[in-house]
Amino acid sequence: MRLVSALSRHRTLLSATGLAAASVWLAVEHRSGDEGVRAADITPLSITDLDAAESTGALLLDLVEPEDGEGGSEGELRALLDGLGLAWEPAGFYSEGEHLFRVHGEPEELAALQTTLADNPLVEVVEPELVFSLVGEVAIEPAGDIEPSKERRPRFEPDDPMYSRQWHMQMIHTPEAWGVTKGEGVVVAVIDTGVAWKDLPGVAKQAPDLAGTAFTHGQSFVPNSLPEGLDDHLHGTHVAGTIAQTTHNALGVTGVAFKSTIMPLKVLSGDGRGQIPWIANAIRYAADHGAQVINMSLGGPMPSSVLAKAIDYANNKGVTVVCAAGNESRGRVGWPASNNGSVAVAAVDAMGVRTWYSNWGKDLDVSAPGGDTRVDKNGDGYPDGVLQNTILLQDPLKNDYMWLQGTSMASPHAAGVAALVVSRGVNNPPEVERILKKTAKHPNNLEWDKEYGAGIIDAVAAVDAAIESYQVERGGLLGLLGLGGLAGLGLAGLAGRRARVAAFAGMFLGAGLAAGAFGLAPIAYAAADLAGATAVGSPLFLSALLPVLATLLLVGVRPLRSVLVGLNLGYAALLLHGALVLPTLLNGLPGGPTIDRLWLAAHALVALALARRVSRM
C-alpha cells in the first residue's frame, strides 16, 4: 500500500509539473506577435495641417457608448453636439448607432474645437476626416484568349480553363489545400469599391465567373453610389474573385477559398477614393453581420484612431482583418495595415521576389502574390499579373478577365488562406494570424524580416497547422491528465490481464475520439455539425455537456465505463487546450476572451473530476 501510495504521489507530482511546463510552453508558442499601432497610440494631426487631397475638411467626433458602460448618457451626448455651435451630422450609414459624427466649419473653428474636445470625457476620438483610396495605381492588362492548360498534377485540379495561368494560386499551394477544405461556412467581407455580384437592370451586371459564388449582406456606404455593395470601378470585383471566384465550373479562373461566402461592402467610389467613416462603419457592419474575415485592399499615408477602434471592435468579435501593405515602394507599411489587429501583406512577383512597388517595414506580417504586369518572368507567354474576372474600368455593364498587380492583389490571397484556416475551427484572430506567419515560407529561410515579413503564405501548410499542431498539443495534455488521473483511477486495479487490457483500450478509444487524436475532428465539432449548430465556437458543445450526458446515459453499462473515463479525459484535454491556446472564440458567450478561457478551464475540471468518479465505480 505504501508503494502504491508513493507511486501515486510521484505520478501526481510529475503530472502537475508537466502540466505547468506545458502551459507555459503553449502560452509562449501561441502568443500574439502583432506589434502594430494601437488606437490609443495614435496622435491625430491638426485639421489645418492637411490638404484637400488628404482630408474632406470636416472633423470626426467618436463619442462614448453609454450602453457599453463607457460613461455619459444619450441626453448628454446630444447636448454636447448641440452645444458645438457648428453644423453636425451622423458620419454616414451605420454611424449614428455607433455615435460617430461629422462636424463642418471653417478650418480655424474646427482646429480650435479639436483642441477643446481633446480631453472631454464624452469624446473618445476627435480627428480630421481623412480620405483613403486604393493602394497606389492599378496596372491593368486584359487577359485576351487563353488556351486551357493540359498539365495535370496528382492533386485537386479544377476544370477552369484559365487556371493554368494563375501562377499565384500554385505559388501558395492552394490545390493541395483544396483537398482538405475549400472555405466552407466562412464569410469574408470585401471592403472595397464593391463587387459585381448581381444584376441591376440597365446599370450593372454580375461578373459571369461569380455566378456560382455565395454572397450575403451586400451594402454600400458611399452616398449616392450603386446600391447593395455593387462595383462601379473594377478593383473590388477582382479582389473578391481572388478570394472566392466560382471554381471547378468549366469557366474562367479559380479563387483561394471558393466555397466561402463574400460580403460585398462598398466604401470606395468609382474613382477609388473613400472617407474614413465609410470604411470604419463597414468594418463594424461586417463584424455585426457574421463576417469572420475582412479584406481591405485600400489605405492611406496617415493613421486614424476611428479606423483603429473599428479594427479592435472586429477583432474582439472574432474577425480576422487582412490589409494591403501599400504600393508606394517605401520602407513603411501603410494604414490601416500598420494597425494592431491587422495582418499586413506585401507583394511578391512570379519568382517569389518582393515587387518593385510593394511597401515593406517593421509592421509587415506576411507576403503573397501581387504580380508584375510589365514582365513575363515565368515564361508562360503572359504578363505576370494576378488573373481574375472583373468589370471593365468604371463600366459595370461589361466584364473581362484581367491581370492586375499590387498589394491589393496580394492581400486577398492572404484573406482567402485565413478563410481556409477559419473553416478548420480556428476563429480567434491572433491565432489565425499566428498560423499564417508560422507556416509562411521565407525566401531567405528567416523567421522574419522587413522585406517579406514571415515569408510567403502557404495555404496547405496553414490548413495542416490548424489540424496537426493542435492534435499533438491536445495529445500531450491528454497524456499528462491521464498520468495524473491514473493515481485515482480504479481501472488499474481491475483483476485479470484481459480485463485491464480491455479497460485501457476502451479508455484510450474514448479519450482519442474526444480530443481528436486519431486524425478526426473532436467529438465536440462533429456533434455540433450533426445538431446543425456552428461547430466553430459553440459554447454548448465546447463544454462538459456531452461527456456528462454520455456518462449519465451509459454509466450503468459496466463494460463501457472505461470508454466513459477516456471520453471525459479527452474532453478535459480538449477544453484545457482551448483555455490555454484559445484557437476558438465562443459564440454568444458575453465577456470576451477572458471569460471564454475561464469557461473552458472550468468545464475541463468538471470533465476531469467525472473521469475520476466513474473510474472508481
Residues noted as catalytic: 192, 235, 408
The cell for 71 is 460613461
Peptide bond preceding 336 in cis form (omega within 30 of 0): yes
- Distance from first CA to last CA of the chain, Å, rounded? 20
The full DSSP string for 441-463 is B-TTS-S-BTTTBT-B--HHHHH
> Does residue 265 contact residue 221 with C-beta atoms inside 8 Å?
yes
> Does residue 238 contact residue 409 with C-beta atoms inside 8 Å?
yes
Residue whose C-alpha is closest to residue 194's, from 254, 293, 271 = 271
**b/e per residue 345-372 (b: at least 16 CB within 10 A):** bbbbbbeeebbebbbbbebbbbbbbbbb
The amino acid that residue 83 corresponds to is: G
Distance of CA 570 to the CA centre of its chain: 28
What is the rounded CA–CA span in Å between residue 417 and residue 424? 11
> Residue 548 phi/psi, 5° resolution?
-65, -45
- Give the sign of the dihedral formed by CA 252, CA 255, CA 260, CA 264: negative
What is the rounded CA–CA span in Å between residue 431 and residue 440? 14
The Cα-based distances of 88 to 232, 317, 425 in angstroms read: 29, 30, 44
Owner of C-alpha cell 492534435: 471
The cell for 260 is 466561402
What is the rounded CA–CA span in Å between residue 473 and residue 574? 9
Looking at the DSSP bridge assignments, the partners of residue 348 are: 354, 369
What is the rounded CA–CA span in Å between residue 283 and residue 295? 10
The Cα-based distances of 463 to 172, 265, 417 in angstroms read: 12, 27, 8
Q: Based on C-alpha coordinates, what's the Rg of the chain?
A: 27
What is the rounded CA–CA span in Å between residue 465 and residue 166? 25
What is the rounded CA–CA span in Å between residue 211 and residue 161? 16
What is the rounded CA–CA span in Å between residue 238 and residue 409? 8
Burial level of 558, CB count in 10 A (0-12/13-18/19+)?
A: exposed
What is the rounded CA–CA span in Å between residue 450 and residue 441? 14
